[in-house]
Amino acid sequence: MALFLIRTEGLHYGHSQLRYFCTRSTMKKGLVLGIYEAEGKDGIALTPTAARYNEKVNGKLLKNICLAGPKIKKAETRVFWGLDESEFAGIAVVGLGKPNLGINQLEELHEGKENIRIAAAAGCRALDSVEIKDITLESLGDAEAAAEGAGLTSWFYQEFKNKEKQKTLPKISLYNQEDEEAWRVGTIKALAQNWARKLADTPANFMTPTIFSEEVSKTLTDLGVQVTVHDKAWAEQKGMGSFLSVSRGSVEPPKFLEINYKGKEDTSVPPIVFVGKGVTFDSGGISIKLSAQMDEMRADMGGAACVVASIKAAAELKLNVNIVGLIPLTENLPSGTATKPGDVVVAMNGKTIIVDNTDAEGRLILADALCYAQEFHPKFILDIATLTGAIRIALGGAATGVFSNCCELYEKLRDAGTITGDRVWRFPLWQHYNDKMTKSVKAADVNNVGKGKGGGSCNAAGFLREFAGTDTPWMHLDIAGVMGPGNEELPYLPPGMTGRPTRTLIQFLQQIA
């Protein structure tokens, strides 16, 4: 029987070929193999695993690749049928680009690992598109990166579609059994980010502060992580007037999650504190947002989602580190009881805040969480939030904006982003921006919006600095630009909320542990 291929860019083929393709695809099992760009006559080189498979099928794989022409470029895929009818219906061969690529210092990116993620995703999508749902993937030279690319691309949010119309997600397994541990780590990272994506993409009426608390409690408690859900009365007793001011416009009660992961036997070791912004829907309050794309504000708890997903992965990887997760949860809605522009509220550390814009609410809830974080005498504090539209203007979706009072801490995070392909970029944390939030204020200690034009993300960081303390190393991550819902920045992420930068946080924790 004649062999033929499908190019994923689109190939017109006859009815007889289509019938053969449909017959083969019902076998439901496929294999993804890699190929490099190389010098020489053919301009290609099989990965070691692909070379062994080529020997197994008596050279038919390489022969058909050469017949298909032109050479397979980076992320391009060809699907071949009939090479190995006893085991795999289709073989997807995907381009990995040039071999032996490492860190590109200018790009701050490990190009080899990123090419593998992209290739793994492309190969799995190619087989999935022809209804092969049982996919085996070779390591492509880095099983962890391959698992990440495959795991992220094979899931998307479809919880509320009719069950009959929901797409069956592919089952993906590893071909190279010797790489099982690296594959396991990559799978844990991908599943953690997918959980963050799910939390962020769930409609706000199905992801209230109460529901978020319940889901996180169930998931993390099953992993041996301690989760405490504090209520409004607890926050009032702690003096969290800034946090509670945001919740005043909603009938949904606020919650404050306190999560403890104890990976070290010595509990006297100072913990790391992660603080995540948990606004489960943000209308802007009285300073209401424009209606266009307001539905995306269901993901304004993206920082909280990243924190809980990172702790989930830390528990599954059994990382040797102690982590405290702090998550203030609320909705920000307009009503007769909502905070009004010009109102003054009092934070946990006693500083008064004049709320000139109720849509700058994320910094208000983080202020009290940062104050509370200092009670744990942490090694350092990291907060993460979909905080400012200004960061999206500055960076687009290419990177997370970072502000820090500790160069060493930032460099570790930057290194983590270089490895994961989900990069970070540092912005200034200068007194200039603190002054914009404090010195022009006459009716209170701090204003929640800066005076003058420009520097919105820096102003917000300057505000948070007033509550982060002066003696503790601290990093603030602004993820408003990378939360989604597009997928134009990372080709292995389907459209929807992204869960970024969960894998960078996990890698960061691995490096510290």
451-482 pLDDT per residue, tens: 888 999 999 999 999 999 999 999 999 999 99
Q: How far apart are CA 503 and CA 475, in angstroms?
A: 17
Query: Which tens digits make up the pLDDT trace of 316-369?
Result: 999 999 999 999 999 999 999 999 999 999 999 999 999 999 999 999 999 999
- For 117-152, the pLDDT digits (tens) are 999 999 999 999 999 999 999 999 999 999 999 999
> Model pTM?
0.94
Picking from 485, 505, 330, the residue whose alpha carbon sits closest to that of residue 402 is 505
Burial of 289 (0-12, 13-18, 19+ CB in 10 A): middle
Query: Has residue 298 got a pLDDT over 50?
Result: yes
CB 208 within 8 A of CB 331: yes
* Residues that are catalytic: 289, 363
Which pair of structure tokens corresponds to residue 177? Answer: 């059994």
Q: E strands, 124-277, where?
A: 134-137, 171-174, 226-230, 255-262, 272-276
Task: Evaluate the omega torsion of the peptide bond into residue 495 and state whether it is cis, within 30 degrees of 0.
Answer: no
Residue 125 to residue 133: CA distance in whole angstroms:
10
Angle at 205 between CA 204 and CA 207, to 5 degrees: 60
CB proximity list for 117: less than 8 A, separation 6 or greater: 145, 146, 148, 149, 152, 421, 492
Between the alpha carbon of residue 9 and those of residues 6, 75, 77, the distances in Å are: 9, 11, 8
Cβ-based neighbours of 440, under 8 Å, separated by 6 or more: 447, 451
CATH numbers and ranges of domains, the chain: 5-176 (3.40.220.10), 222-338+358-429+455-512 (3.40.630.10)
List of residues 6+ apart from 86 with CB closer than 8 A: none
Structure tokens at 340: 């009004």
The whole-number pLDDT of residue 177 equals 87
Contact status, residue 462 vs residue 476, Cβ threshold 8 Å: no
